[in-house]
Structure 1
Amino acid sequence: MQHTLIALVEDKPGVLNRVSSLFRRRGFNIDSLTVGRTDQPGISRMTIVMDSDSAGAERVTSYLYKLVNVIYVDDVTNRPAVNRDLAMMKVSVSASNRTEIIQLVDVFRARIVDVANDSLIIEITGDEDKITGFVEVLRPYGIIEMVRTGIVSMLRGAIAPDSGHAFAMNGNGKMVKVFS
């Protein structure tokens, strides 16, 4: 089963390497990994999707907590969340199929972000199934190139993985939770 973990980490060099090395050393595969800044200065958010049973996900969560620079980890797999992935693909087009491809873009609520005589670059955002379905529909036309960002996840409602917490630097230079 796929598990989605959200980790808040200090935005420092080497943190991503330590996290990915932990997965490698423990024999877990990362299916998707995204990292980005948060609204808290000095804090980045990782969304990690891994294929594991619940016990494996719990072990990884506890291992992550032991890493320096990891502030918070939450397995949001069985909680109400919005998960999104973004893909861009360059598709081969001709005069005879351009209209058909544009109609498919509309049906999937994707966007054309670049137009050339012989190709279109299409951007699509959605859950993993929507993007996979769109790729399969476009494959017969000729996908020249494709890239996907990886999944990002956010809990629904007013809950946040770090609910009720802000972060600040303590006297030892370590990020700590500050209750708000």
Structure 2
Amino acid sequence: MKRTIIATVNNTSGVMNRITGLFARRHFNIESITVGMTENPSVSRMTFVVNVDDQRGLDQVIKQLNKQVDVLKVRDITDDAIVARELALIKVVAAPQHRGEISALAEPFRASIVDVGRESVTLQVTGDQQKVEALIDLLKPYGIKELARTGITAFKRGTKKSVFESPKYSIIN
């Protein structure tokens, strides 16, 4: 089963290596990993998508991650309401007579052409994994020269309740 794990960690050298090592020792395949600085430059956020055979093993890894000195917080957000996005750059073989078709294919995906060469175009698409996969599948017949994907980055959705619905912020008419 696929699980999405997020971890906030101190932004220091070697942290990613130690954390991915824990997954490797448990024989979990990391399908995707994204890491980037948060609003606080001394803290990074890691998003892992891993394939696991059983929940017990995953729970053990999360406990071990939480024991790491540089790990601030670890959560499995798979079953939560989340916002998850991926970015892909796709370089496609594109003779001048096919560029209009490729551009038309990209439009419903809100993909943009970010580079044009003599024999290729490069598209940028962001969205959920299914959206990215669907565009890649449509572009395959043209010939994909190169493909680079970021992997998924995600966090929990905000609450549906407005801050102004709170008794603390009641609006008087």
**TM-score, normalised with respect to structure 2:** 0.88
Equivalent residue, structure 2, for 1:27: 27
For the pair 1:147 / 2:148, whether they are aligned, the reply is yes
* Structure 2, unpaired ranges of 5+: 161-173
- In 1, Cα distance between equivalents of 2:35 and 2:130: 21
User: 3-state DSSP class of the match of 2:158?
Assistant: coil
Matches within 5 A, 1:1-180: 1-52=1-52, 53-158=54-159
More helix by share: 2
- Identify which range, 37-46 or 47-56, moves more after superposition: 47-56
Cα deviation, 1:124-172, whole Å, max 9, x if unaligned, reads 001111111111110110100010001000111159xxxxxxxxxxxxx
Contact map agreement 1:86 1:123 (CA 8 A) in 2: yes
CA offset at residue 26 of structure 1?
Answer: 1.5
- Identify which range, 60-69 or 135-144, moves more after superposition: 60-69
- Between the aligned residues of both structures, percent identity stands at 45
* Structure 1, unpaired ranges of 5+: 160-180
Which amino acid in structure 2 is aligned with residue 16 of structure 1? M
User: 3-state DSSP class of the match of 1:9?
Assistant: strand
Which amino acid in structure 2 is aligned with residue 68 of structure 1? V
Aligned residues: 159
Contact map agreement 1:91 1:120 (CA 8 A) in 2: yes
CA offset at residue 117 of structure 1?
Answer: 2.1
Over aligned residue pairs, what C-alpha RMSD do you find? 1.3
Query: Runs (4+) of structure 1 moved beyond 4 Å?
Result: none
- In 2, Cα distance between equivalents of 1:8 and 1:50: 17
- In 1, Cα distance between equivalents of 2:21 and 2:64: 11
- In 2, Cα distance between equivalents of 1:98 and 1:48: 36
